[in-house]
Amino acid sequence: MAIRFKAPAKINLCLHVLGQRPNGFHILDSLVAFLDCGEWIELRKASKTTLQIIGPQSEKLPLGADNLVLRAADIFPAGCTTEILLHKTMPISSGIGGGSSNAAATLRGMSELWNIPSPDIVAQLSLGSDVPVCMWSKPVVMQGTGEVISELSYIPPLFACLVNPARAVSTAIVFNQHVFVETLQWV
């Protein structure tokens, strides 16, 4: 039996970087929303954990040990061996949370597949600051280094067109250079 989980694209409608902790992590205050589009993960029990990547962006994503989907799968007990299929459509390093959303979908999916609780916030944060917010996959306020998440009661529909110039952007480099987009401009 295979199960499929959506891994929607994430956008920061507002992003404020308030400082940096001694461990290097940035302190954030961000209004986060998720798009109706994105990627998906399909999982099924298997004799060993494997990852296959398909889709238009599949050739650009490495299958190495640093892949967030494989790192998410490694959080589970050794007996939870899973065949994972990732349909990769979002550009790599585009700032819309593709890897984090895929990791969150893997965590949710493996928890359901193996009927065990989802990994805690510490384990989620070990994969990246955006992974906990991607576990929610709905509009929220994210604060701290990603560990404080507040649900929003209402956010109006947003119709957006995202354009990607096919140039990878490193979040770490952007944050370290203090080049920030403070607020999404409403049209």
Q: Which residues are catalytic?
A: 10, 130
d(CA 116, CA 77): 10
DSSP conformation class of 183: B
Number of H helices, E strands in the chain: 5, 6
Which DSSP string do the residues of 14-59 spell out, in sequence order?
Answer: EEEEEEE-TTSPEEEEEEEEEEEEEEEEEEEE-SS-EEEEESTTGG
- Would you say the C-alpha torsion 38, 40, 86, 152 has a positive or negative sign? positive
Q: Give me the residue label for tokens 């302190």.
A: 27
d(CA 171, CA 44): 32
